[in-house]
Amino acid sequence: MGHARYLTIQDMIWIHLQLTDKVYPYEFLKLEEATFYQYGYGTSTEPADRAPSLFHGFMKNKPFEKHNEVVGFIAFVAFLELNGLRFTSEDAACARWSGPPAEEKLKGSIEAGEPCHEGVKERVQEIITRYPKTIAKMIARGNEAEPSAFVSIA
């Protein structure tokens, strides 16, 4: 595999807006930390190893006031696909999750895919259309963050 493609902090804010249709406050340092979970060092540098960490980074850090789980999920799938991998779990199966699955279970649903030549926005929009039930379920759960020093982006 060539050089990995990464999502930016601005991509994460844009993904959140696409999923919620509303601007929510966020805590910048937590957003930065959650986004940086996609980077790997040492022996864990492959996107297939890093993508589940990215998902869980959003659940751990909860940078947005609401809807961190769904942002983490879409970022997880987008990061895989931008790097020529595929998440094999279907929408109906993911919609049955009661919360994010363990990293090892996520890794078990990753396989080689086609190289992606699209931009982040095009890929994310396509992923959103593929996972409507999962997104609706995660949005309904809310995944609210603990009150803290949120930055208003309004």
* 151 has pLDDT over 50: no
Strand extents, DSSP E, 37-117:
85-87, 110-112
Length of the chain: 154
Boundaries of domain holding 73: 9-141
Distance of CA 60 to CAs 13, 52, 86, 121, 145, Å? 17, 12, 24, 25, 10
How confident is the prediction for the chain on average, in pLDDT? 87
Q: How far apart are CA 16 and CA 93, in angstroms?
A: 22
Q: Quickly state the pLDDT bin for 150 (edges 50, 70, 90).
A: very low
* 152 has pLDDT over 90: no
Whether 77 is covered by a domain: the verdict is yes
Q: What is the model's pLDDT at position 19?
A: 94
50 vs 41, more confident:
50
3 vs 109, more confident:
109
Strand extents, DSSP E, the chain:
85-87, 110-112
* 149 has pLDDT over 60: no
CA pseudo-torsion sign 7, 11, 16, 18: negative
Whether 124 is covered by a domain: the verdict is yes
Q: How far apart are CA 9 and CA 6, in angstroms?
A: 10
Q: How far apart are CA 135 and CA 118, in angstroms?
A: 22
Q: Quickly state the pLDDT bin for 65 (edges 50, 70, 90).
A: very high
Q: Quickly state the pLDDT bin for 44 (edges 50, 70, 90).
A: low
Residue with tokens 């991998």: 85
Whether 153 is covered by a domain: the verdict is no
Residue 136 corresponds to which tokens in the numbers above?
């609706």
Whether 4 is covered by a domain: the verdict is no
Q: What is the model's pLDDT at position 98?
A: 78
Tell me how many domains the chain contains.
Answer: 1
Whether 98 is covered by a domain: the verdict is yes
Whether 150 is covered by a domain: the verdict is no
Whether 151 is covered by a domain: the verdict is no
Q: What is the model's pLDDT at position 105?
A: 82
Whether 121 is covered by a domain: the verdict is yes
